[in-house]
Amino acid sequence: MKDLWGFNKLNKDDVSGTPHGILKEQADLFEKKTGDTLFIRMQTRKLRFDPDNDDFEFGLATHFEIVAPALDSYSYTLFTLYSKPERNYPVALEKNMNDKDELRDMVWERDEMDYRCTNEDTFVEALKEILGSADTTDIIKNLYSKSYI
């Protein structure tokens, strides 16, 4: 039977530029930088919907977690990527730690994601802000030092 599919055998290059591919590349870099003391775990979950009461546009949530094997495999969710199963973009990012948290105790809306990205450029820019922030560096150093001693 002839191969009727429109693609050849898939490999790592095929996910390059997709949100999940970019996250994987950053995870690899992270693990090299922390000397494998910490690692990244990405866990994607299907969101459960109440079909009668739901208009949230994303169906998948991917947690980007820092894992510390030396601390009983404790994990810290740095941010969550929301995506649609059938498309690469748009996506939304929600940080775990948020300056707006205090405010959010009073007014919080699901629509108010920290970042909404419609293409690779805006996604990389948002990711750069989260991964390069002082808060993120603090968390990494904190977990690294506790794992190291």
Partner 1 sequence: MLNILFWNIKNNINVIPLLPKLCTENLINILILSETKGIDNEYILRRLEETGKTFRVELPMPGNRTFLFHDQGLQIKKVKDGKFFSAFKLLNGPSIILLVTVHLPSLLHQTESVIGHEGSIIIADILKLEAELDTNKTVIVGDFNLNPFSDSMVSAYGFHAIMCKDTALKNSRTIYGEEYKYFYNPMWSLHGNNKNNVLGTYYYHTKPTSYVWNMFDQVIIRPSLINFFYFDKMEIIDMIEETSILNLKRKPNSKDYSDHLPLKFSLRLEE
Give the residues lining the site for partner 1 (CB under 8 A): 43, 45, 47-50, 53-54, 56, 61, 63, 71-77, 80, 94, 96-98, 101-102, 104-110, 135, 138-139, 142, 146
Closer of 14 and 112 to partner 1 (Cβ)? 112
* Three-state SS sequence of the chain: CCCCCCCCCCCHHHHCCCHHHHHHHHHHHHHHHCCCCCEEEEEEEECCCCCCCCCCCCCEEEEEEEEEHHHCCEEEEEEEEEEECCEEEEEEEEECCCCCHHHHCCCCCCCCCCEEECCHHHHHHHHHHHHCCHHHHHHHHHHHHHHHC
Q: Cβ of residue 41: shortest distance to partner 1, in angstroms?
A: 11
Q: Cβ of residue 126: shortest distance to partner 1, in angstroms?
A: 17
Closer of 62 and 117 to partner 1 (Cβ)? 62
Q: Cβ of residue 148: shortest distance to partner 1, in angstroms?
A: 15
Closer of 16 and 43 to partner 1 (Cβ)? 43
Closer of 17 and 77 to partner 1 (Cβ)? 77
Determine the Cα–Cα distance for residues 58 and 116; give it in Å rounded to an integer.
11
